[in-house]
Amino acid sequence: MRTSFFILLLSIFAGSAHGQLVFDQPEQSFKAKPEQESIVAKYRFTNSGKESVKIGNVQTSCGCTVASLKKTDYAPGESGEIEAKFTFGGRVGRQEKAILVNTSETKDKPIVLRLVVDIEDQISIQPESVFWQVGEQPDPKKIEVTVADNAPVKILSVVSDNPSIKAELSEVKPGKEYEIQITPTDVSRQAGATLLIRTNYPQQNPQTRYAYARIK
């Protein structure tokens, strides 16, 4: 009985004697500056086991994150690094991306690395689009534009690309809150407009943001 119990214990703990990757910081957090378009995280690891480890593949949970590593085989005690580049591509707010590392030791249960990035949106547009149904009253609708605290951004103007859908900008709280009032002059048939919201930031190449109006 004792022998079988010992064999059972041995089989349970045998895995720890094999090669295994230990990551210094499996979860990394960043705060992205508004002008940044991407971020690169480096996940350093060491093979702390007694056998070499082969990294089969590194997968990411989003096409926006690309992970790479210089080599795949790591001897006992050897260190390496996985580099993950996350391209924001219009994402704002808190972003969590996973990087899955499959090794010769973790075939069905990959090591999960996490990348958390807080991307500040300097300008929030709510809602991004407004609608009227054909035939309904052409009552004005509002879009609120809010500038984040301490953001050096001003909304300069709003222009509608369709003269039959008018847009008027007003400042609710100086430099912080704006309101766009959209009024269609004709709702008897389908129409649409793109509203160009012009800002003064960044100075070299000021951004234009968009909102939309549709009569459906």
Partner 1 sequence: MKPVRQAVLILLVALIPAGVTAVVHPRRPPWSGETLAPGEKKLKTVLSWGSNALWVDARSRPAYEAEHVPGALLLNLEEWDSLFPRFLDQWSPERKVVVYCDSKSCEMSHEVAARLERSGFSSVYVLKGGWEEWKKAAK
Residues binding partner 1 (CB under 8 A): 1, 61-64, 87, 89-91, 97, 126-131, 133, 192, 194, 210, 212, 214, 216
Pairing of strands 208-215, 129-132: parallel
Q: How far is the CB of 119 from partner 1 (least distance, A)?
A: 11
| CA distances for 203 relative to 32, 103, 135, 152, 199, angstroms | 19, 47, 43, 10, 9
- Beta carbon nearer to partner 1, 37 or 149: 37
Give the shortest CB-146-to-partner 1 separation in angstroms.
Answer: 13
In single-letter form, the type of residue at position 8 comes to L
Amino acid identity for residue 45 in this structure: F
Per DSSP, the three-state class of 168 is strand
Q: In angstroms, what is the minimal distance from the CB of 192 to partner 1?
A: 7
Which CB, 132 or 178, lies closer to partner 1? 132
- Please answer whether residues 89 and 56 qualify as being in contact, where contact means their C-beta atoms are separated by less than 8 angstroms: no
Taking the least distance from each CB to partner 1, the nearer of 128 and 168 is 128
Nearer to partner 1, 63 or 163 (CB): 63
